[in-house]
Structure 1
Amino acid sequence: MVRRLARGCWSAFWDYETPKVIVVRNRRLGFVHRMVQLLILLYFVWYVFIVQKSYQDSETGPESSIITKVKGITMSEDKVWDVEEYVKPPEGGSVVSIITRIEVTPSQTLGTCPESMRVHSSTCHSDDDCIAGQLDMQGNGIRTGHCVPYYHGDSKTCEVSAWCPVEDGTSDNHFLGKMAPNFTILIKNSIHYPKFKFSKGKIASQKSDYLKHCTFDQDSDPYCPIFRLGFIVEKAGENFTELAHKGGVIGVIINWNCDLDLCESECNPKYSFRRLDPKYDPASSGYNFRFGKYYKINGTTTTRTLIKAYGIRIDVIVHGQAGKFSLIPTIINLATALTSIGVGSFLCDWILLTFMNKNKLYSHKKFDKVVDTLGQHMGQRPPVPEPSQQDSTSTDPKGLAQL
């Protein structure tokens, strides 16, 4: 049995299959066949070639340069603030922070003082509760081993060697966001697609005084690179007062999708704005940072003003894709389209041989086995005589009439 099976497999290995064309006059099956072909053709013509533009060679992720500059003046309760004070970092780049609220701890000097009550396990009743030399990474300094009265009230905390007085939540609070919605942000951006050797900047006008008068507007001036801070926050769907108080991160997304088969003037950026930090996650939302301003009193004692700043951080994100006609992807997608049209025939063959009433008759007409004399000399299967036309007609006189 094994030898017979091996001989059969060896013989079948040398078989050759060639398609046989049968015309089946069935309107339902013909309708399904043409509809499948039509859907495949529409998919490739409309989606693949028109929407996806698969006849083009493409490049994603352009090389990009970004320069930002903020202008504006605002006021707190007792002070006028200009750009040099509320913008960090001052040189401008793809990320810029605009301070809208600060907590100030003035006149800090190096010395010893009570630890902040906000630090874990900082409260005490006696010196035994404070271990000298102990360092809490969430605290402000190194403990001296003494339990001392707090800045206010009857509580006591462990004494630390640090910048004193420590930041304890009772610092002066200044809100800078009153005029902040009218701040303007200049965003200069230029891109380069190295594969196509294409470069372009996003300032459309060449006039020297253009930037002095324009402000971005989606309808009247869509290519002006100057944005109002209030406009950016509004387009991101946020409340400005709430955002200025707690801080947050807003993304300015610049999308350069360019069809390089068209003229250069058709390649222009599209803008979108959205909040990047998780708004509804209390542990992760908001944005703040600390920095100090140092000076000396009487030329000897180093003193600093500690500032905890809350602000709106602007992240400029550039992405895009460029495409240009290329013969190779065009040929590949055309070949794929022509090949995929054959799916209709495969589907109809499956219906024909599986679900039709006379599927056995169709199968008999579709598949034939022919053995030539060369196959006999090679020791293959003996020829199987095909039924003659008369036999076929006598056994199934209506068979050909149904094809």
Structure 2
Amino acid sequence: MASVQPRLPERVATARSLARGCWSAFLDYETPKVIVVRNRRLGVVYRAVQLLILLYFVWVASGARAALSRRYVFIVQKSYQDSETGPESSIITKVKGITVSEHKVWDVEEYVKPPEGGSVFSIITRIEVTPSQTLGTCPESMKIHNSTCHSDDDCVAGELDMLGSGLRTGRCVPYYHGDSKTCEVSAWCPVEDGSSVSQFLGKMAPNFTILIKNSIHYPKFKFSKGNIASQKNDYLKHCTFDQDSDPYCPIFRLGFIVEQAGENFTELAHKGGVIGVIINWDCDLDLSESECNPKYSFRRLDPKHAAASSGYNFRFAKYYKINGTTTTRTLIKAYGIRIDVIVHGQAGKFSLIPTIINLATALTSIGVGSFLCDWILLTFMNKNKVYSHKKFDKVCTPRHPSSSWPVTLALVLGQAPPPPSHYSQDQPPSPPSGRGLTSGQGADQPLAVQPPWPCPISVPPEQMVDTFNQHIRERLPVPEPSQQDFLPTNPKGLAQL
């Protein structure tokens, strides 16, 4: 006779049943519940939100080409392209022209600093010259703080002012002109404001020509291009820049650059300033190479209206010897127009990966319309409780003593309930309560199917209801439901919303 298997304890059996239920629930597939609500106002809101999202993504994906030529709309990114910003760039500049001042004729070698022809250079338009400076002692400039004096006691020998011209000797001497006195210094004499002479070089400067040779390279796409057209050798000798007729002749008049920056040339030549020449290479590499063209813009970069730092100037000196022994120099304080050539841009080309990513983002964003409309229905609609009842199905557990927790777990996991020994005739399940209709309630209250135990919003799954109902019928008589306890069977569903 076979041995009888020992019966497992109740808790072990319940734990195994719980594990099987969890594993079964893990392999289940869940799908959203779709409800059609026939409400024109809500439908208009839903479709309007979807339309706005689609228009945004369509504009981003296909409208960028038009946006490049119509910058007044807004900056748009081509979301279907792989892009690269900041091209590798080289710049070569060359200035040509002559001008005159009160005392001499100036050529390129004298008024362009530095002469190497890089992306930043200055064109001198006015100078203050202090000629024949030699090393010696002379009065300090009155522009220096605490330089004025009345006697030698006001000057400290060996004192050095970092903003001054030299080392003080301790003597108080008459100034270069007038009755004032300043402390004597050991420096290059005479100091700058003692005998400087101003000369204006900007009379013919508006006609100076500037060649800006620029080439760019996008390494990701292996694309290179320059801003000079491949024509005859003498092409650049007879052309000047024109956006319509000669866009690939990068020779600009200095007066044209200042005018395009919105500045007055005479005022700028006297005080100096910084003008930016911006070259923009925005290229759609899905098109032909001829569609990738440089766009030039000009603007002033330095603070024009700042009284403490307006204008632009710098100093340099020219050294020579007299009789081969005495070192002499000419100090020049130069005011001019500094040109900064700035190159930037972005290239894009179709790529499958960003296309898929942005398409998925667009489709996901359309769900915002459903979220918004659900929020409106659940919050502001008159029959929001009916909609909530239809949209959400919740599992409700019976109210039993603590000893009946295996029944609750089994019902939640969709398993068969434990043996009916837990119930007795003297302790039936709690009567229904919640939001169901009673005979005395009006028709305005939301309708709900009465389950065999309390459920404030919805009903449990059919399998659980049938299993539990079968068990209850064996123990308790089931009263006949009234006509008001049923949901309306109108096939139009929520058409009355």
TM-score scaled to structure 2, two decimals?
Answer: 0.74
Separation in 1, partners of 2:119, 2:484: 83
How far does residue 222 in structure 1 lie from its aligned partner after superposition? 1.9
Is 1:337 matched with 2:431? no
Is 1:46 matched with 2:137? no
* Higher RCO, 1 vs 2 (CA within 8 Å, ≥6 residues apart): 1
Matches within 5 A, 1:188-199: 188-199=213-224
How far does residue 345 in structure 1 lie from its aligned partner after superposition? 1.1
2:158 to 133, 139, 163: 133
1:120 to 145, 149, 152: 145
- Aligned match of 1:71: 96
- Aligned match of 1:297: 322
Deviates more, 1:341-350 or 1:133-142: 341-350
- Aligned match of 1:235: 260
Matches within 5 A, 1:22-171: 22-51=35-64, 52-168=77-193, 170-171=195-196
Deviates more, 1:265-274 or 1:347-356: 347-356
Structure 2 counterpart of 1:397, one-letter code: P
Separation in 1, partners of 2:484, 2:49: 34
Matches within 5 A, 1:309-324: 309-324=334-349
**Contact 2:176 2:194 (C-alpha < 8 Å) held by counterparts:** no
How far does residue 138 in structure 1 lie from its aligned partner after superposition? 0.8
How far does residue 182 in structure 1 lie from its aligned partner after superposition? 0.2
Matches within 5 A, 1:386-401: 386=459, 394-397=485-488, 400=493
How far does residue 18 in structure 1 lie from its aligned partner after superposition? 3.9
Is 1:179 matched with 2:204? yes
Separation in 2, partners of 1:184, 1:117: 40
Deviates more, 1:306-315 or 1:32-41: 32-41
**Contact 1:70 1:83 (C-alpha < 8 Å) held by counterparts:** yes
Separation in 2, partners of 1:391, 1:21: 30
Separation in 2, partners of 1:19, 1:273: 58
**Contact 1:376 1:382 (C-alpha < 8 Å) held by counterparts:** no
- Aligned match of 1:3: none
Structure 2 counterpart of 1:37, one-letter code: Q
Structure 2 counterpart of 1:178, one-letter code: K
How far does residue 391 in structure 1 lie from its aligned partner after superposition? 7.6
Separation in 2, partners of 1:243, 1:28: 62
Q: Secondary structure at the match of 2:193?
A: coil
Aligned length: 389
Structure 2 counterpart of 1:105, one-letter code: T
2:33 to 20, 24, 38: 20
Which runs of no fewer than 5 residues in structure 2 stay unpaired?
1-20, 65-76, 398-405, 415-450, 453-458, 463-480
Matches within 5 A, 1:270-285: 270-285=295-310
Which runs of no fewer than 5 residues in structure 1 stay unpaired?
1-10
TM-score scaled to structure 1, two decimals?
Answer: 0.91
**Contact 1:215 1:225 (C-alpha < 8 Å) held by counterparts:** yes
Structure 2 counterpart of 1:136, one-letter code: D
Separation in 2, partners of 1:342, 1:157: 81
Separation in 2, partners of 1:235, 1:125: 53
Deviations 1:148-206 (A, max 9, x none): 11111111111100000011164111000000000000000011111111111110233
**Contact 2:278 2:343 (C-alpha < 8 Å) held by counterparts:** yes
- Aligned match of 2:496: 402
Separation in 2, partners of 1:34, 1:294: 80
Separation in 2, partners of 1:266, 1:344: 39
User: Whose Rg is larger?
Assistant: 2
Q: Secondary structure at the match of 1:121?
A: coil
Separation in 2, partners of 1:211, 1:391: 99
Separation in 1, partners of 2:329, 2:298: 38
**Contact 1:371 1:382 (C-alpha < 8 Å) held by counterparts:** no
Separation in 1, partners of 2:341, 2:58: 37
Deviations 1:369-389 (A, max 9, x none): 3589xx96955648765499x
**Contact 2:395 2:412 (C-alpha < 8 Å) held by counterparts:** no
**Contact 2:81 2:350 (C-alpha < 8 Å) held by counterparts:** yes
Deviations 1:339-363 (A, max 9, x none): 1111111111111121111111111
2:284 to 235, 259, 262: 259
How far does residue 393 in structure 1 lie from its aligned partner after superposition? 7.2
Moved over 3 A (4+): 14-18, 375-388, 390-401
Structure 2 counterpart of 1:21, one-letter code: V
Q: 1:27 to 1:398 in 2, by over 3 A?
A: farther
RMSD: 2.4
Deviates more, 1:46-55 or 1:295-304: 46-55
